[in-house]
Structure 1
Amino acid sequence: MNVKTKLSDCLRPLVLGALFLGTASAHAAVQQLDKVVAIVDNDVIMQSQLDQRVKEVQQTIAKRGGGVPPTSVLDQQVLERLIVENLQLQIGDRSGIRISDEELNQAVGTIAQRNNMSIDQFRAALAHDGLSYEDARDQIRREMIISRVRQRRVAERVQVSEQEVKNFLASDLGKMQLSEELHLANILIPTPDSANSEQLNAAAAKTQAIYERLKAGADFAQMAIAQSGSDNALEGGDMGWRKAAQLPPPFDRELSAMEVGGITQPARTPGGFIILKLLEKRGGETSLKDEVHVRHILVKPSEIRTEAQTKELAQKIYDRIESGEDFATLAKSFSEDPGSALNGGDLNWIDPKALVPEFQQVMADTPQGVLSKPFKTQYGWHVLEVLGRRATDNTNQAREQQALNVLRNRKYDEELQTWLRQIRDEAYVENKLPGAEQTGTDQAVQ
């Protein structure tokens, strides 16, 4: 079992970065010959941290079966990831965000449980994969802090109105996009917010060159790791499952019509130039919910009626209905279910899942229009009659929730990328790696 991969899958909803791509402690002991590779506001990133994270990334890539990019390529990508993570952790520290030991223990326990392990087994599995339990806990704590920082700074600002949901559902695009989900990967060549024509042309040319190599058979994930400036570059550009409506035009319609495995031509977005690959498609089915129209009569044991007497009464009621007496009339006279007695025992159309298992089973086994024999549940003794069965189209309700999720996720993604770029641009960052491109604030601190 590859614990690193499974743990990363477990914590993926917390943040965009994979949990165990890196395991170095944020406060790793400075070894002899260690050196600073980046100054990040009030903190630094050491060569030992970068080396450890690069090593872990290389191992992860190798296990996927693809070629591992040169270390010189990974160094810049991984360092940029570490810089952005460090900035978010500093924001969390200034904001007073703390993860208690109890919360951390719960998170660790959840991860172990998802991997079908006890805590002791979890420790052993970590050790087998070269991870210490203490470093794993520290990494989980940092990921939880980053998640809370993003929740406060980004997610809480995302609001979707009912009118936006209605407008989306009424649009041709909304109707089309809610029919399916797309699993995507991306390669982003970013451009500065105030890029000049020379910078735009250079980025466009670089993106086009990448596109030509992809069309010639280059591996998309490896190209993303080596070239992409997106926050998910080290995951091979994997964006997860998205609705096309979450993406900027012209990708919305292009991807819906595309075959799995296809890639889009380079396109300009607010963040730069982007190429998308369609990895999988799913969804589009009608949402149906099974319902049963049923009526019943319930009689309960009491201080003045024993279990045997209650069963006997249910049998007498059954015999009277079988002899031709009216079900509804007997229900009004005998049923002790206050919710349905006055309605002649009618429960109306109901989702079988809302009923206790014994009632579900008898209802499923009873043909429409046939009276069941008396049976017992935790509530007492029943007889029931199935009046009808149907599959209700629950698509509208499901589509409303889907639309809300699509719009919220789209706004969150846009806000997150804008916010990450903003805190990176505003930070005091000095990249000390040889050959590093110094831009924005980096230039100012040289």
Structure 2
Amino acid sequence: MLPKLISSLIATKKKPTGLSSLFAVLALVALPWTSFSICAEELDRIVAIVEQDVVMQSELDEQTDRVKFQMQQQATRMPPNAVLERQVMERLVLEKIQLQYAEQIKIEVGDDVLKLAIMDMAKQNNLNLEQFKEVLASENYEFDVFAEQIRQEIIISKLRKTEVDNKVRVRETEIDNYLRNESNTAELQEYRISHILISVPSEADNKQIQKAREKTEEALGLIETGEDFGEVAISVSDGQQALEGGDLGWRKGSQVPGLFADSISALKVGENSGIITNASGFHIIQLTDKRNLEEFMIPQYKTRHILISPNELLPMAQVANRISNLKKRFDLEGDDNFAQIARTNSDDRTSALQGGDLGWVSEGEMVPEFEEIMTAID
């Protein structure tokens, strides 16, 4: 049965692989949009220029307020306001750079894909779309603004995945051989790592280097006397994950930066590395947790699809006919031509550029109608 919103022609190959993460989406927090009372003589101002874009003071203020609210909800000690604003500013600038680059390489998220993502968020909260909109409205959160934030999160996630995929090409036979090789069982261990970076400018003099080292030693001293690693990271770290308490998430051994690899393997959960030095500055890492990945092995599906979306010129009845004709063409021309059919016909332009390839997908990542077909194909 065709889904109500989209029709997809999918080709799937099943293979057991390690646990993969869903794309990151904005957490829904009960923080009302602040109505800033600005006097007539007070104007919003530019606080940073990022290539063709800018960061406005109001944007910085709103994002800082959200981060403060999240910290309050998590009972996290607040760093000084100047430190927090610097961290938020760095994140805003990085996101704008990523979005500009994504636009340059034509990474887009269409309205249909966005709507499905939001519907999935609503479903996870046991709400339908209208109820989800009502919850947002009750918190004075404009749906269009929320949706645009979700779109940007998905774009950035796609960009990161694209950059990784462009650098990593592994044949399936190599995966099979790897999994059969008992000498690689250590690679089935994952580590959750937290990180503090005190950066040093590339042309720093001895005085600047010494100042950075002293700051790192002070941070390490706080941690070793019982201060929470995450709170120290929020206060002092220059790393991209500073606002998350330095949390780098779960990583397999091969995904741990070489600088940290030896230290991590020797640490027990809760221990820190002491100070690690390289050209970018001074680092402290903590092993937050570790687990045997073998316990988390789940099925994944190598999936391609062709998306045909209904619109004013193409009603659902014609969508069904078109997808049926494409299926017949695929049956006649064979698997080798699926990529070309996707490139010239799919409305999901991001995957169309990859011949319809969605990569490896875990159960629960796709909408139910798509997943039902995906998991049924041998």
> What secondary structure, in the 3-state scheme, does the structure 2 residue paired with 1:14 have?
coil
- With over 3 angstroms needed to count, the CA separation of the structure-2 counterparts of 1:55 and 1:212, relative to structure 1, is same
- With over 3 angstroms needed to count, the CA separation of the structure-2 counterparts of 1:203 and 1:14, relative to structure 1, is farther
2:286 to 261, 277, 281: 277
Q: Give 1:66's aligned residue.
A: 76
- With over 3 angstroms needed to count, the CA separation of the structure-2 counterparts of 1:39 and 1:121, relative to structure 1, is same
Q: Give 2:271's aligned residue.
A: 262
1:226-245 matches, cutoff 5 A: 226-245=235-254
Q: What does the per-residue CA deviation read over 1:324-362, in whole Å, with 9 as the maximum and x for residues that have no partner?
A: xxxxxxxxxxxxxxxxxxxxxxxxxxxxxxxxxxxxxxx
Residue 22 of structure 1 contacts residue 52 of structure 1 at CA under 8 Å; is this kept in 2? no
Residue 30 of structure 2 contacts residue 139 of structure 2 at CA under 8 Å; is this kept in 1? no
1:181 aligns with 2:208: no
2:240 counterpart letter in structure 1: D
- With over 3 angstroms needed to count, the CA separation of the structure-2 counterparts of 1:49 and 1:166, relative to structure 1, is same
2:151 to 141, 144, 159: 141
**TM-score of the superposed pair, with normalisation by structure 1:** 0.53
**TM-score of the superposed pair, with normalisation by structure 2:** 0.62
RMSD over equivalenced CA pairs, Å:
3.7
> What secondary structure, in the 3-state scheme, does the structure 2 residue paired with 1:54 have?
helix
1:94 to 99, 104, 111: 104
1:319-334 matches, cutoff 5 A: none
1:180-199 matches, cutoff 5 A: 180-193=189-202, 197-199=206-208
Report the structure number with the largest CA radius of gyration.
1
More RCO (CA 8 Å, sep 6+): 2
Q: Give 2:233's aligned residue.
A: 224
CA distance in 2, matches of 1:200, 1:164: 44
1:14 counterpart letter in structure 2: F
1:70 counterpart letter in structure 2: P
> What secondary structure, in the 3-state scheme, does the structure 2 residue paired with 1:181 have?
strand
Q: Give 1:395's aligned residue.
A: none
Q: What does the per-residue CA deviation read over 1:127-159, in whole Å, with 9 as the maximum and x for residues that have no partner?
A: 344422121101011112222333444432233
Unaligned stretches of 5+ in structure 1?
1-11, 290-404, 406-446
CA distance in 2, matches of 1:193, 1:154: 26
Q: Give 2:48's aligned residue.
A: 38
Q: Give 1:293's aligned residue.
A: none
1:48 aligns with 2:58: yes
Q: Give 2:167's aligned residue.
A: 157
- With over 3 angstroms needed to count, the CA separation of the structure-2 counterparts of 1:253 and 1:150, relative to structure 1, is closer
Unaligned stretches of 5+ in structure 2?
1-20, 299-359, 361-378
Deviation at 1:100, TM superposition (A): 1.7
> What secondary structure, in the 3-state scheme, does the structure 2 residue paired with 1:185 have?
strand
- With over 3 angstroms needed to count, the CA separation of the structure-2 counterparts of 1:153 and 1:163, relative to structure 1, is closer
Residue 36 of structure 1 contacts residue 45 of structure 1 at CA under 8 Å; is this kept in 2? yes
1:37-436 matches, cutoff 5 A: 37-160=47-170, 174-178=184-188, 180-193=189-202, 197-249=206-258, 251-269=260-278, 271-283=280-292
Deviation at 1:194, TM superposition (A): 5.5
1:255 counterpart letter in structure 2: I
Residue 248 of structure 1 contacts residue 269 of structure 1 at CA under 8 Å; is this kept in 2? no
1:49 counterpart letter in structure 2: E
CA distance in 2, matches of 1:287, 1:132: 38
Residue 196 of structure 2 contacts residue 237 of structure 2 at CA under 8 Å; is this kept in 1? yes
CA distance in 2, matches of 1:245, 1:204: 28
- With over 3 angstroms needed to count, the CA separation of the structure-2 counterparts of 1:266 and 1:221, relative to structure 1, is same
- With over 3 angstroms needed to count, the CA separation of the structure-2 counterparts of 1:222 and 1:129, relative to structure 1, is farther
1:221 counterpart letter in structure 2: G
CA distance in 1, matches of 2:57, 2:166: 36
Pairs aligned (count): 274
Residue 234 of structure 2 contacts residue 246 of structure 2 at CA under 8 Å; is this kept in 1? yes
Deviation at 1:49, TM superposition (A): 0.3
- With over 3 angstroms needed to count, the CA separation of the structure-2 counterparts of 1:21 and 1:273, relative to structure 1, is farther
- With over 3 angstroms needed to count, the CA separation of the structure-2 counterparts of 1:117 and 1:271, relative to structure 1, is farther
Residue 230 of structure 2 contacts residue 246 of structure 2 at CA under 8 Å; is this kept in 1? yes
